[in-house]
Structure 1
Amino acid sequence: MADGFSRQGAAEKVMPPIFAGPVGEIYQEAQAALKDVYHRCRMGSHLEVKDIQEIVADYLNRMQDNQNMLLQMVMLKDLDPYSVRHSLNVTVLATLLGSKLGLSRKELQLLGVGAMLHDVGKLEVPAEILLKPGKLTAEEFAVIKRHPQAGYERLDGVVMEEVRRVARDHHERCNGSGYPRGLRREEISLAARCVAIADVYDAVTTDRCYRPRYLPHEGMELLMMESTLGNLDLDLVRVFLQAIASYPVGTRVKLSTGETALVIAQEPEVPMRPVVKVLKPRRSAGKIIRLLTNPSVLIVEVDA
């Protein structure tokens, strides 16, 4: 299906074990439902916002007790490289940030719907530009940059104004350097600032045809750089970095020592340096390594 919101290989990929349980089911159901909504929009049907609201409501009902599992799913980037999966990941990350900020259920619902629809304007971008494997020309990038305003217009009369503004303003930057309107921090809604952070983090930690993905801790460092430059909201980035575990419990990682290990605990103050238990090679299996106190041991790959 070449609808600009999905790129799937000819052969179906085997789902990893994490997708087998009830949390995996809600993630897969949400992904399938969102793909169907976007596909129908691409084919000219009216956007059914009720479907999006139901997806977000179902997710919010399960979020609190399943945060680690949902974050692991966000990290498994190889099943559907971008687009629909990106929108769902941004929803998980943005609503997690919103929950840490103490937003009400109604505010989280609005944030979640805005996050789910933040890229809906890309339905107006020709597939040959949206899916281009090489570097975009200046003219092509100008077309891409129209998608926030296109999303705002597409959502007119469909969703509340707060949701429309998330679609329009998620590429605005706190120092006025963003687009489409060059807004500054005080002019950008809290929801749009949350989605901007989640959007950047998921985008840079996903493989793209023109560059490899950053590891989670590298993505977090990029967020800090962007916030200190004034692009992203520094206060929100700090909360985000405390809220998100770079490597959730249960994640398999490869270490610079050549060992494969399982994340078994977090260091709350330094989420990039978890506690791991070695799985392979067999002679080292069971060894516990606290990365915080072993600075020479690095995570070099997430092993999905």
Structure 2
Amino acid sequence: MASQQPTKSAPASVLTMANPIYRTRRVINAIMLALSLTTLLFGLFWLFWIIATLIIKGGAAMSLTLFTEITPPPGQAGGLLNAILGSVVMAGVGTIIGTPIGILAGTYLAEYGQRGWLAPATRFLNDVLLSAPSIVIGLFIYAVYVYQVGHYSGWAGAIALSILVIPVVVRTTDNMLLLVPNSLREACAALGCPKYRMILLVCYRAARSGMITGVLLAVARISGETAPLLFTALSNQFMSFNMNGPMANLPVVIYQYAASPFKDWNTLAWAGAALITLLVLGINILARSLFRKQ
């Protein structure tokens, strides 16, 4: 008599609410998803509230006059032309000074710093500089430059901003070059390409979008910095492109006008704050768009 094999019934699907493990996981997943969406909406609510408040408060001064006239005395009409141009000049000079230094330092870390203690120490110090309060940078430039020459100047402001640019560019350049596949470097070496040409023609091209993103993020950071400019460039009520003297800039003008008792100055401060916020927001959106193409 043939032995009978025990028959096994087909297992029921585990992906049903009758399964307690699956049911628990579904509940936990729904709770975490709801919490994530809540925090997202919470953050977006404050962001849109800030932007809407700035636009509504500064909308009264958003006109052609804002971009064509200099800062006025109390009780008279005027704009922020000298402050806007001063900020553009100092931010531009600071970016021009800081970007090459940051790119070269980041290139050394990614391409030449595989051995030894110098690269890890540089990365650590760069992270410290990246998180340092901007007022510390302003006080440093005040002590080593402004105090020595005896007056505030646009050059001092630009140097302070360049120090804020450097760690951002160093970090992004280092990270983007490390993402370049080593196979590209090996192919260049197999063809007899010198290392400097490999970096310029292959690595930089492969990491170009990420490096540009780092520069844009650095510009966004320095666009609204007030503390370092208070100790270096200060401000100027008149139109001046003399980098060797005090120069008007948008963050300091906003700080001064917002604290004044004059309503017309308060309105200009709201308009300037809206300009900076929209500029930084636009730069960040542009940087994210470039990063996605990397």
Q: Normalised by the size of structure 1, how large is the TM-score? A: 0.26
Structure in which a larger fraction of residues adopt strand: 1
Q: Normalised by the size of structure 2, how large is the TM-score? A: 0.26
> Higher RCO, 1 or 2 (CA under 8 Å, sep at least 6)?
2
